[in-house]
Structure 1
Amino acid sequence: MKPANKQDQLLSERFEVAFNQVHDALRDIVQINDERFVVLVKVGAKKYQVIETFKKDLEQYARLRNAIVHEKMAVGFYIAEPNAKVVHHIEKIANILSRPNYAPTIATKNVVFFDENDSILKVTAAIKQHGYSKFPIYKNQKCIGLLTAGSIMKWMAQHMESGIVNLADVRIADIMKVEKKQSIEFISKEINIFEVENIFEKAHKKKNKLEAVVITENGNAGEKPLGIITPWDLIQIDYTVE
C-alpha cells in the first residue's frame, strides 16, 4: 500500500467536489424524500433523459466515491484512486446538471406561424420550404392552437372529390374548426430543460398528449413564438461528454 502523492490527492479532492455537486443537483432536480445518491440516480433516470444518459457512469462513480471516502486506510492512503479521465468526466456531468441549458437551446428556432385567416396554401408552402410539421396559429395576436401537417392531411382526405382537393379558398380557420384542438403549453425562455421534461411528464400522467411546448419571452400566448419543443426534441438531446 503506497501513500497517495500530491497529484493523486488533488484528483481525489476534485472527484469528491464534483461528486457532491452532482449529488446536490440531483436533489434539486429529482425532488424526492430520499437523498441517497443511487436512489436519486435511479428515480431521476426514469424521468429525465440527461440522467438516464449518465446513469451507468454515476452508479460506478458512487461505488468509487464510497471507496475513496469510506475505505481510506489512513491519512494519504487510498484503496481506490480516480484517474484524470474519470475526474474530467464527472466534472463535466456536474456542470451539465448544476447549470442545465435553457429551453431555447433544444427548441426548433425560426418558428413559422400564421393567422387563422391565412390561406392554407401558405402553410403547405411553408411545409415544402422548411420541412416543418407544426405551426402555431394566432387569432387577434394570440396563439389559439397548433396546426399540424397531419391535421391538414386528414382534412384533405375528408374533403377529397374524385381524388382532387381544391385548397384555393380554404383558410386555416376552416381546418382548425373541424380538427381536434392540439394540446400545447407556453413557457418562458428562462425555463430550463428539466422543467420542460416535467411539463411533458405531467401531461403524460394525465393521459393528455402534449403536442408541443411553445417558447415565448414570458410564457404568454399573446407573445411571438421564439421556439417550439416537441417530445422528439427531448429524445434527440445530445448529452455526450468528451
Structure 2
Amino acid sequence: MKTVKNQGQLLSERFEVAYNQVHDSLRNIVKINDDRFVVLVKVGAKKYQVIETFKKDLEQYARLRNAIVHEKMEVGFYIAEPNAKVVNHIEKIAGILSRPNYALTIASKKVVFFDDHDKILKVTEAIKEHGYSKFPIYKNKKCIGLLTSSSIVKWMSQNMENGLVNLADIRVSDIMKFEKDHPIDFVSKESNIFEVENIFEKFHSKKRKLECVIITENGSPEEKPLGVVTPWDLIEIDYTIE
C-alpha cells in the first residue's frame, strides 16, 4: 500500500514539474504581458502550430493542475493524482516546447538555386525534374530574389512568334525583369522552428506574404542555401506523440 502511495505522489510531482516547465516555455515563446497559463496557450495557439497541436491537451492539463495543486492537503500529499499516461504525455510536450527542433529539421533540404547568368533552359529542366515552381536566384554569390515558373510563362507569352518561342539564348536575368517582388528572409542553421514562425507572423501582421525563409550557415544571403522553409512546411509539421 505504501508503494502505491509513493508511486502516486511521484506521478503528481512529475506532473507538476512538467507543467511548470511547459509554463516557463510558453512565457519564453509567446512573450506577452499576461503570464497566465491558459492565456499563453490561447494566444500561442494562434501564432504557433506546435501550441495549436497541443492546445486542447494543455487546457485540460491546466484544469487538472488546479485540482492537484490547489486542493493539496499538505506538502507532499495530493488529493488528485494523474495517471501515468497523462504524466508521460505532458513530459513529452514539455520536452518539445523547451527544446524546439532546429528549423532545418523541417526545411526542404535539396535547395535548387541558380545564378542570374544561367540559361533559362537549366531552370525549365529543374521544373521538369523536381516539380518546383520557385527558385532562389543568386548574383555575384548573393541571393537577389525568387524566380517563379509563372514569370517564365509570362515571358514566353510575350516573346512568342508563330506559336513558338526560342529559349536557347535566354538567361535567368532576362526573366527576372518580369518577376515581381517576392519577400524572402534568411536565418542561420541554429534557428529553431519558433523563431521561423515568428518571422512569418511578423510579415503577416504587416499584411505581406513571406514566400519562404532560406536557411544558411549564419543567416546571410551571401551564403549557400542549406534549406528552405515555406508556410506549408510549418503547417505540415507532425508533432504526434505516441
**Partners of 1:4 and 1:78 within 8 A in 2:** no
**174-183 or 81-90, which deviates more:** 174-183
Name the SS for the 1:72 alignment partner. coil
Paired residues of 1:4 and 1:76 also in contact (CA < 8 A): no
Q: Which runs of 5+ in 1 are unaligned?
A: none
Quick one: percent identity of the two aligned structures? 79
Worse overlay, 73-82 or 200-209: 73-82
Equivalent pair of 2:214/2:226 in contact (CA under 8 Å): yes
Matches within 5 A, 1:1-242: 5-74=5-74, 78-242=78-242
Asked whether the equivalents of residues 189 and 217 of structure 1 are also in contact (C-alpha less than 8 Å), the reply is yes
Gaps of 5+ in 2: none
CA distance change for structure 1 residues 24 and 76 in 2, over 3 Å: closer, same or farther? closer
Q: How many residues align?
A: 241
Deviates more, 1:127-136 or 1:223-232: 127-136
Deviation string for 1:148-181 (max 9, x for gaps)? 2233233333334444332222211111112112
* Residues in 2 aligned to 1:59 and 1:87: alpha-carbon distance in whole angstroms: 15
In structure 1, C-alpha distance between the alignment counterparts of 2:183 and 2:69, rounded to whole Å: 49
Q: Find the residue that maps to 2:187 and give its secondary structure.
A: strand
More off after superposition, 222-231 vs 129-138: 129-138
CA distance in 1, matches of 2:38, 2:124: 50
1:118-161 deviation per Cα after TM superposition (whole angstroms, max 9, x unaligned): 11110111111122222111111111111122332333333344
1:74 Cα shift? 4.5
Task: State the SS of the aligned residue for 2:177.
Answer: helix
SS at match of 1:178: coil
